[in-house]
Chain A
Amino acid sequence: MIITSINRTEAFRYLGIKSTPDNATLQLADECEKILLAEMAPKFCWSYAEIFKHSDTSVKLSGYTLSLDGNDISAHLDGCIGVVLMCATLGNNVDMLLRKTQTQDMAKAVILDAMASTAIEQVCDEAEKKISARLENKHLIWRFSPGYGDFPIEVQKDFLSALNAQKVIGLCANSSGILTPTKSVTAVIGVHKKSVQNKKHSCESCNMRDRCNYRKTGGTCQ
């Protein structure tokens, strides 16, 4: 997969920059974008699974030992016939780059970090397009990741093993459920038979609702 530019608006938003950044920041951003695009090696893998049991608190998949637990994921997948399990990573080099930059220049490091977070979302968006094209006559809703709502982050190990992610894209989790390489994402995408209104992301199921800077000022992250 090839990403040719980083969504700067989004990266600046991660940095809490509300207006147009100053020239020094913009200049650093140019530099960071170039380095990041050269160092990242985006990869993703996915798998489609049918849902065979759907209760209020969990969703079971045919042929998988993995169970998707929690009220929020269960409600989110309401009406779905199956799910896409997906994961993506920018690769190991980005971690090395971030470590190195942090010893040299923290200003650059925070911008790189925000850009890498943006980049992995862009990778997921691209992946989703490819997946959607492959699943004809099926309709995808938005990505729901472990750690969101009450979908436990502890699921990462089983999630990754269901996708054989270490073998396929080199993605692992540590004992705390942190993905390594760090700029990585795992997500469940609900699959409907018929086209549905894509429900809005809800602040209610968001872990950050009490601390969210967007909410404080009356906005949302959408």
Chain B
Amino acid sequence: MNVQVSLNTPAKKAPPAPAPLLSLRNLVIAKAGRRLVDGVSLEIAAGRTLAVIGESGSGKSLTALALLGLLPEGLDIDEATRIAVDGRELGPRDERGWRALRGRRIAMVFQDPMACLNPFMRVGDQIDEALRRAGIASRTERRQRTAERLAEVELPAPETLARRYPHELSGGQQQRVMIAMALAGAPDLLIADEPTSALDASVQAEIVALLARLQARRGLALLIITHDLSVAGALAHEVAVMQRGRVVEAGPAAEVLVRPRDPYTARLVGARRRLDEVAPHRPDAGGVIVEAEGLCVDYAARRLFGAPHRAVHEAALSLVPGRTVGLLGESGSGKSTLAAALAGLRPLSAGRVRLLGHEVVPGGRPLPRTLRRQCQMVFQNPYGALNPRLTIGWALAEPLALMGVPAREREARIALALKEVGLEHEHAARFPHQLSGGQRQRACIARALLCEPRVLICDEVISALDMSVKVQILDLLRRLQQERGFAMLFVGHDIEAVRWIADEVLVMNRGRIVERCAADALDEAHVRDPYTQRLLASRLLPRAA
């Protein structure tokens, strides 16, 4: 299905509408006969924002690269593909033609700024280089423009900042520098491929706001590639939803994201809405099985005689069977360290943890093996949590063997565990890389469940997954908890997800728990802590049309 995105396609007798800034017709990209992008057509008018939405493997990033003539070697582009800038056609492999446009008419911002900035160059010099490429010969003029660009992307003290190296900047500042570089040649179209996906929620909101302001100020056209519907909703006038290399639905953002017609789009939109529902409140039945008090965790000093870095300050929390505590925080807040300390994977520096009747104190006896097994953890990256050289069946046999389950019983229990998390028996014979991200995470959950845990710690378990898969995993965790009644600590940075699954929410900032409240009271009206207020305020709202 090829859907025209721009609504002002020139009709025959209507007054001649201006040619779209960029138009792409029938893009087909194939590798070894397999079509990765299959007949995508897009149009972007000057000053408008188009969001291309899709999950991993949908072909959205390849489409973006094609719009810059940057497709990697070894991909076949169909001959019927037409790309035109300002109505002038360009071959997809016309390197000379594209080079004249790149940076001056079209510029790009990538997902991971740290990987795109040269770590050995001061950021000011990198912008300077971009300006030189854009044809500004005078050195003093370039220096002045560098400061202007840095100010334009709302970075404080541009002169000092220009002398810094990329690693001295935060992720948000790095992305701002990337945007400043992209703006060096005063382009008319900015392509941003997942510009905020590597950033924390509050920083994400700032970058999105910055992009919107830049567009208003410069009349930029924006093409946003994203998997995140809220980013698309906050920025886009028009959206195109991609699935398996095809555009399945396209139209005005306010229309598509609110009343989707295509079943796939409906599933994506539904998944997000699902998390807005308020879950029934579960009563606190009592019977605390994990209790932490004054828990502190230090990281060893980098230098000899240096002071150790305290990652967690005096955390206190308690877990109750059948209930979930959500631990919300941004990267570097110490939430994962706290989770690892509770699971016994990291030694305490101060405080104590009572876990299933056993008391853990700094320097004291570690948890006995049988108890350690009852407190299981599911990790953020399911790929790292499964040995790539062992099949899923072997990975699941590991805890059983360690528990002393006889070999003949293992197969049946593995089959049962796979079924419980919604996998098939045949998955047992596969290697981790032969499964999708969601399936891998299910396998990790199945493996943790084989230990019959009474406590389950989930550390960012959904953040590496696509939106629709996230909701499935959340559903699965909640169902398993209802069936098995384990206590759960759910660590995450996604406010909606944490609120949906948790009964009680703790917010962490710089190693301290700054807020604790019931999940249904996690809104601007109820929270008291200023940091939590800021976090809640950073949620993205749909763009006013």
Q: Do A and B bind each other?
A: no
Q: Which residues of A contact B (CB under 8 A)?
A: none
